[in-house]
Amino acid sequence: MKILVTGGTGYIGSHTCVELLSAGYEIVVIDNFSNSKRDVVDKIKMITNKDFTFYEGDCCDKDILTKMFDKNDIGAVIHFAGFKAVGESVNEPLKYYRNNLDSTITLLEVMKEHGCKKIVFSSSATVYGKPDSLPIKEDFPLSTTNPYGTTKLMIEDILRDLYKSDNTWSIALLRYFNPIGAHTSGLIGENPNDIPNNLMPYIVKVATGELEILSVFGNDYDTKDGTGVRDYIHVVDLSKGHIKAIEKVLSESGIDAYNLGTGNGYSVLEIVNTFMKVNGVDVKYKIVDRRPGDIDACFADPSYAKEKLNWEATLGIEDMCRDSYNYVKNVKED
Ligand code: NAD
Ligand code: UFG
């Protein structure tokens, strides 16, 4: 029995492939490299010293998915493939609706046709919109503020409807908070080619001198120091959550959502200061206006994942800052 990982050469997918292989799972991976690099396939093999079959292809392509299911005994799927840039989704909503929804519906059809009814889906804390209170629990009301978020909520709804129609499905909706960090090997991580939208990749590029100065979006929020607060989670901890979720979907049917976060909120300035301290580098920053659409604070109550999946994050903010920088320095030295 193999686990299919879609989007498996992406940031979270590649780390999850490492954890799956290390835990003894056989995997088969598909990615179209729309937001990742070919050499990640070899890097995953290098880290784990394990082999797996990789398909270059698009999850909207029913033929390639059918071929994968025909050729491999796929027992469950972890579905990472999708576009994730909030700002781009506002400017190009059709691109997001087409890719995120089409890839998921096509995948679910092929799974159904092959009697594979176990899936772990990459959702996001963005489905909580602007929460009324903190920390966020899974039963909070759901809403979205941008097309990317809407694709995540629509897919959650599709999966809930699918389960209603056939309760032999087994579905885990994983709502990630803010993944940062990288594998300690320095071989895989996140290093966008374009100017980063997210905080940590931007900080790293300022630290390496690729970008001049970080803009801190607002210091007048109702938070400890006025800057935005988020629940940053190490990508390795997050990936380990997927192993627990796979164990869950393999063992029983049902549908459930789980917050994958640490439960700790850190401000932008706390992240910048910790990054400078642990890495011994300077990160120049300036305070600018708030970024439209940002909320003041967002952090999880992760207790449900602990109770139901027996998972909790163990790595701290220092680990996250150190590993994020280590990866990008390593890439630059290559
Ligand atoms: P990523 O862009 O690094 O990885 C996604 C991968 O999917 C990429 O390798 C890309 O090439 C591939 N892909 C995209 N569309 C595809 C398609 N149609 N067919 C085949 N491959 C396709 O992103 P990530 O940070 O690893 O995120 C993984 C998932 O988690 C995404 O669904 C994302 O929306 C979700 N998520 C990410 C975050 C985050 O902050 N990184 C937060 C919440 C949820
Ligand atoms: N920030 C800056 N400067 C930057 C980038 C970010 O000050 O250059 C601030 C933001 O204002 C925010 C914090 O850093 O306060 C984190 O911002 P990110 O862009 O890194 O993350 P977000 O919380 O805005 O969004 C992320 C993902 C979304 C996901 C959301 C909820 O990018 O995909 O978390 O899970 F929907």
Shortest-distance atom of ligand 1 to CA 84:
34
Shortest-distance atom of ligand 2 to CA 152:
36
Q: Which of 148, 163, 176, 221 is catalytic?
A: 148
- 97 is known as an active-site residue: no
Q: Give pLDDT, residue 204.
A: 97
Q: Give pLDDT, residue 160.
A: 98
Q: Give pLDDT, residue 23.
A: 98
Q: Is 75 exposed, middle or buried (0-12, 13-18, 19+ CB in 10 A)?
A: middle
Q: Is 127 exposed, middle or buried (0-12, 13-18, 19+ CB in 10 A)?
A: buried
Q: Give pLDDT, residue 294.
A: 94
Residue nearest to atom 4 of ligand 2 (CA): 199
DSSP structure class, residue 128: B
Three-state DSSP class for residue 229: strand
Pick the ligand that lies closest to the CA of residue 101: 1
The whole-chain average pLDDT of the chain stands at 97
Average pLDDT over residues 180-185: 98
Pick the ligand that lies closest to the CA of residue 125: 2
- DSSP β-bridge partners for residue 286: 215
pLDDT grade for 194, boundaries at 50, 70 and 90: confident
Per-position b or e across 14-39, b if 16+ CB within 10 A of its CB: bbbbbbbbeeebbbbbbbbeebbbee
Q: Give pLDDT, residue 252.
A: 97
> Of 177, 199, 287, which is best to mutate to test ligand 2, by the most ligand atoms within 8 angstroms of its C-beta?
199
pLDDT grade for 332, boundaries at 50, 70 and 90: confident
> pLDDT tens digits for 278-304?
999 999 999 999 999 999 999 999 999
Average pLDDT over residues 214-229: 98
CA 198 to ligand 2 centroid distance, Å: 5
Q: How far apart are CA 18 and CA 49, in angstroms?
A: 10
pLDDT at residue 334 is higher than 80: no
Distance of CA 15 to the CA centre of its chain: 10
Kindly state the percentage of the chain with pLDDT values over 70.
Answer: 100
> pLDDT tens digits for 26-82?
999 999 999 999 999 999 999 999 999 999 999 999 999 999 999 999 999 999 999
Average pLDDT over residues 126-148: 97
> pLDDT tens digits for 238-247?
999 999 999 9
CA 7 to ligand 1 centroid distance, Å: 6
Q: Give pLDDT, residue 267.
A: 98
Q: Find all residues with CB under 8 Å of 135, minimum gap 6, and list them.
A: 263, 299, 300, 301
Residue nearest to atom 33 of ligand 1 (CA): 84
DSSP structure class, residue 225: S
Residue nearest to atom 35 of ligand 2 (CA): 125
Contact 216, 209 (CB under 8 A): no
CA 210 to ligand 1 centroid distance, Å: 24
Q: How far apart are CA 151 and CA 83, in angstroms?
A: 10
Pick the ligand that lies closest to the CA of residue 239: 1
Q: Give pLDDT, residue 331.
A: 87
Q: Which residues line ligand 2 (CB under 6 A)?
A: 84, 86, 124-126, 149, 177-178, 197-199, 202, 214-217, 228, 230, 268, 291, 294
Shortest-distance atom of ligand 1 to CA 14:
26
> pLDDT tens digits for 197-219?
999 999 999 999 999 999 999 99
